[in-house]
Structure 1
Amino acid sequence: MELTAMNKRRIRELAKTFCEKDKHFKNKELESLILEFYEFLGQKVKPGLEEHGVDRGKFKVYLHDMFRLSKEKMTDGIFRVFDKDRDGLLNLEEWLKGMALFLRGTFEEKIKHAFAVYDLNENGEITREEMFYFLKDTLPGLPPEENLEEAVKFLVEIPMKRMDTNKDGIVTLVEYEAAVKKEYLLLEAFGPCLPDTMTTRKFQERVFEKRLE
C-alpha cells in the first residue's frame, strides 16, 4: 500500500490515541497493526474509515488464513465477541482489541474471551445445551448403531462435572475460571477459539515488519 504523508500522519495519530487507551502494544506495533487493518480492508487510509470495518465473512477467512481457526461455530463466536457494538462489522478499535487479546492477552483475558464465545445467549452462563451445540461436531464418523445425541450428552457431562461445582446444572464465569486455572486444558474444552503460540508468533513477525517510512 502506497502511503502519502497525510496517510502516515493519520496512522501515527490513530496509533497514539489507541496507545493511550490500551497498553498491550507499543506505539510502533500499533502503527503496524493499523497498516495491516487497512491493507486487509483494501481501503486507503482516510479520516472516518476506521469507523467502517470488516464484515463477518471476510473476517472468518482471515481467521482461517492467519490464525488457523476454521470451525464455523468458533469463528462465528469470535466475531460476535469482537463486534462490541453489534453492527456486523469490526471497526479499527474492535480489530485492535481483538488482536490485543489474541497476541498479548493475559491468561485471565483469554479465560473471559473463551467463556464469552461459549456463552451463546450472553446471559453469563454456559448451559448443557450450549455445551451440546459445540461438542456435537466433535464426534464425526460414528458407526450407524451409535446414537450421536446420546454420545454427545455423555461427552457434555465430562466438563460439566469438572466445572459445575455447585451442581446447579450451569457453569458461571467464576466456576469456569476456577476450573481452567486448576486444569488448563479446560480453557478450550468446547472448541478452539484462540490461536496457538506458534501461529501468533509468525503473525507478529510478519505484521510488525510493516513500518512507516
Structure 2
Amino acid sequence: MSASLDSTLDPMEEIRFRKKHGAMWVDIQKDTHFSFDELEQIMVIFFKIQKRDEKSPGTDLISRGHFRDVLHNGLGMTDAYMMERVMVALDRGTSPFVTMATFAKAMSLYLRGDLDERISYAFTCYDLLSEGYLRRETMYQLMKKSLAKSSRDDDVEEAVKELVDIMLKRMDPDLDGVINFNDFRESVMKTPSLLESLGYCLPERPAVFAFLATWCPKWGSM
C-alpha cells in the first residue's frame, strides 16, 4: 500500500479518510474488479468530489449531480436522456445521493466490467417500465431519442420504425413481439456490436483510457 493516496490531499486528512472508511472498502471490493490498492485510488476520486459537494450531507455520499459530472466530463457520457436511465440501472433507489459502494461498482463496470455485466446493465437501462422485456414501443422511444439528435423531425419517424423492425427480426428469435433478457443476451453474445443498439449507456474505450491516464496513472505499474 502506498504511503499517500494522493499528493494533493493533506496527509492528516488522508489518514482520517482511510481510517474512517478502510473497513467498509474491504466489503465493497468484493463486488468490484479492483484490487484493494486500486479501490483506494477510486475512493480518493470520490473523496475529492465529496469535498467540493456542498449538497452532500456526509463523507460517504455525493450528489447525483456531481456523479453525472464525473460521467459527463470524465468518461464522455453526454446523453442527458440516457443519463437518467443510467442512474436507474446503477442505483434503483430514489435518493438524490450516490454512496461509496454505488460509485465503486459503477467505476468497476465502466473501467473493468465484463460482457455479461455490461449486457445486464444495458438491458436495465433500456427496460423503461422495468417489465423484464423490451416492447416495440419502448424500442421506438429509445431509438427516436437517439436519432432525433442527428436527423430532421420529418425523417425520424419512418427511420425509427424501420430500425425497430430490423432489431426485432435480429433479437426476437421466438417471434413473440418482445425482447426479453435472454433474447437480448444471446443476440449480444453473438454480435457484441448490438450491446448499445438502443442508446449509448457506456463510455467509449478512448474515454476510459483517458480517465485511467488522468486519475489512475499508477495502475499500469501495479
Are 1:60 and 2:68 an aligned pair? yes
Q: Hey, what does 2:137 align to over in structure 1?
A: 129
Query: What RMSD, in angstroms, separates the aligned Cα atoms of the two structures?
Result: 2.4
Q: Hey, what does 2:185 align to over in structure 1?
A: 177
Q: Hey, what does 1:49 align to over in structure 2?
A: 59
Q: How far 1:158 sits from its partner (Å)?
A: 1.3
2:24 to 11, 14, 31: 14
Q: Percent identity over the alignment?
A: 29
Higher relative contact order (CA 8 A, sep 6+): 1
Alignment length, in residue pairs?
204
1:206 to 179, 189, 214: 214
| 5+ residue gaps, structure 1 | none
Q: How far 1:184 sits from its partner (Å)?
A: 1.2
Q: Hey, what does 2:41 align to over in structure 1?
A: 32
| 1:30-179 matched pairs, under 5 angstroms | 30-42=39-51, 49-50=59-60, 52-55=61-64, 57-137=65-145, 138-139=147-148, 140-142=150-152, 144=154, 146=155, 148-179=156-187
| 5+ residue gaps, structure 2 | 1-8
The answer as to whether partners of 1:125 and 1:170 remain within 8 angstroms in 2 is: yes
Tell me the SS of whatever aligns to 2:179.
Answer: strand
Cα shift readout 1:109-156 (whole Å, capped 9, x = no counterpart):
000010010001111111111111111131433375x4x323321221
Relative to the length of structure 1, the TM-score reads 0.86
When residues 178 and 39 of structure 1 are mapped into structure 2, their CA distance, relative to the original with a 3 A threshold, is same
Cα shift readout 1:63-112 (whole Å, capped 9, x = no counterpart):
11011111112111111111233323211111111111111111100000
Q: How far 1:6 sits from its partner (Å)?
A: 2.0
Relative to the length of structure 2, the TM-score reads 0.82
